[in-house]
Amino acid sequence: MSDRIKVLVVDDIPETRDHLAKLLGFEADFDVVGVAASGAEAIERAVALLPDIVLMDINMPDMDGIAATELLAAKCPTAAVVMMSVQGEADYLRRSMLAGAREFLVKPFSSDELAASIRQVWTRERDKQSRMATSVAAATSRGAPGVEAGTVVAVFSPKGGVGRTTIAVNLAVAAASLGGRKVALMDGSFQFGDVGVLLNLSPKNNSIADLAPALEAGESESMETFLISHSSGVRVLLAPPSPEQAERVTAVHAKRAIEQLRASHDLVVVDCTATFSETTIAILDEADVILTLLSLEITSIKNMRLFLEVAEQLGYSSSKVRLVLNRADSTLGIRVADVEHSIGRKVDHTIISDGRSVVYALNRGVPFFLSNREAQVSQDILRLATAIVGPGSMAASAADTKTGAAAAKKSLFAWR
Ligand SMILES: Nc1ncnc2c1ncn2[C@@H]1O[C@H](COP(=O)(O)OP(=O)(O)OP(=O)(O)O)[C@@H](O)[C@H]1O
Ligand SMILES: [Mg+2]
């Protein structure tokens, strides 16, 4: 990628095409390298011109923007698609993102919105490419002793209600119980975060919304003041108490918060939402491991298949994405083997269903790992935590934190 952003404009209406090319021509950092009037022409031109960004109309007569985006991922993987549509429905957005589009703009949009979106996508892609280019070196250095940056684990699922928050909270608590590690838990579900409820933390506490100005200013000293200490030893960065406040938190804030938490903790667990929002993608990009949850339900399995395709397009290695089957023993007519066959991958970890322990703990605001340590579900969580951070050293002191980080890395990279 050079410093000027190379854009290919694709729209079947000549006036729209020219208008967009002109608008972008006014921006000093853009270079409109070509235009195309159809999906097929877009692919041909992209292969020849190697644009950074393809600004793609969704509705075109021969091949629509979604099909063209899918083909582009194979033929010109370095081009990032910004989709344009007059329809703003969630289904269009979802299908575009699954096809590999990086951004979705609803027409009409202002020239400022257009330029800002393209710049944002370009910056993200550039960061991703440079990260991928250095991933081998990073893996080696992260595994080396004495490297202090912690491991970031995003707990994600492409379907809601499958147990992300339950597992994120108990995983963090279990990892802290192993001793010798500083563990942070960030609620990445900014609009409807439940982490505080599961840990019985008052919503009056500080949240990431209060931290946003400091994150913007690049101040890292403030983080400490905004973390809430839970009795388990886990330090929590809460989601904002209301959806209005959540609007103040952007993908950049999420990314910076994770960077700062990673610098001062051995393990950072992030509870994500089930949507492919810009924020979620920023969190998943930052993560070393994406614990992707699924359940024995047909909709969960279907969405998982789609997510695995998206993960590949986002450049996530298959070892970064770990599959966790929650409520694995539910007898609902689908077997684990059926799931593995359907998604073409083995499940990496399983957690059993234990409504009694889980819901009782939830309603009391005490993680089940603390209130019912002997239960099988707690043992499953402990096994998951150990797979991520390595075996515990209960007697380890805070001074052993670095060793803990090194053990975590070793364990993490043993998966690869
Ligand atoms: N292993 C389990 N055994 C029994 N119940 C479980 C288990 N895991 C989660 N649950 C229950 O499933 C419900 C959903 O869990 P949770 O809120 O953690 O899911 P989520 O994916 O975070 O949902 P949301 O989309 O609302 O954020 C809760 O009632 C929880 O207690
Ligand atoms: Mg949740």
371-406 pLDDT tens trace: 999 999 999 999 999 999 887 654 333 334 434 344
Q: What is the pLDDT of residue 394?
A: 47
Average pLDDT estimate for 34-61: 94
Cis amide linkage into residue 14, ω under 30° from 0: no
Q: How confident is the model at residue 341 (pLDDT cuts 50, 70, 90)?
A: confident
Closest Cα to atom 23, ligand 1: which residue? 161
Q: What are the pocket residues of ligand 1 if the criterion is a CB atom closer than 6 Å to any ligand atom?
A: 157, 160-166, 189, 194, 274, 326-327, 351, 353-355, 358-359, 362, 377
Nearest Cα neighbor of 2 from 161, 89, 122, 154 is 122
Alpha carbon of residue 381 to chain centroid: 21
Percent of the chain with pLDDT over 70: 88
Q: List the strands of the sheet with 235-237, edge to edge.
A: 228-229, 235-237, 183-187, 267-271, 151-156, 289-294, 321-326, 349-351
Q: List the strands of the sheet with 80-85, edge to edge.
A: 30-36, 5-10, 53-57, 80-85, 103-106
Radius of gyration over every alpha carbon of the chain, rounded to an integer in angstroms: 22
* Token digits of residue 90: 């969630």
Closest Cα to atom 15, ligand 1: which residue? 163
Across all residues in the chain, what is the average pLDDT? 86
The string of DSSP codes covering 203-225 is TTS-BHHHHHHHHHTT--TTHHH
Give the pLDDT confidence of 123-169 residue by residue, as tens digits.
Answer: 888 877 665 555 444 443 444 344 368 999 999 999 999 999 999 99
Which atom belonging to ligand 1 lies closest to the Cα atom of 166?
18
Q: H-helix or E-strand containing 111?
A: helix 111-133
pTM over 0.85: no
Q: What is the pLDDT of residue 352?
A: 94
Q: Tell how far the Cα of 82 is from the centroid of ligand 1, in angstroms.
A: 34
* Token digits of residue 263: 């610098």
Q: Tell how far the Cα of 199 is from the centroid of ligand 1, in angstroms.
A: 14
Q: Are 367 and 173 in contact (CB under 8 A)?
A: yes
Closest Cα to atom 24, ligand 1: which residue? 161
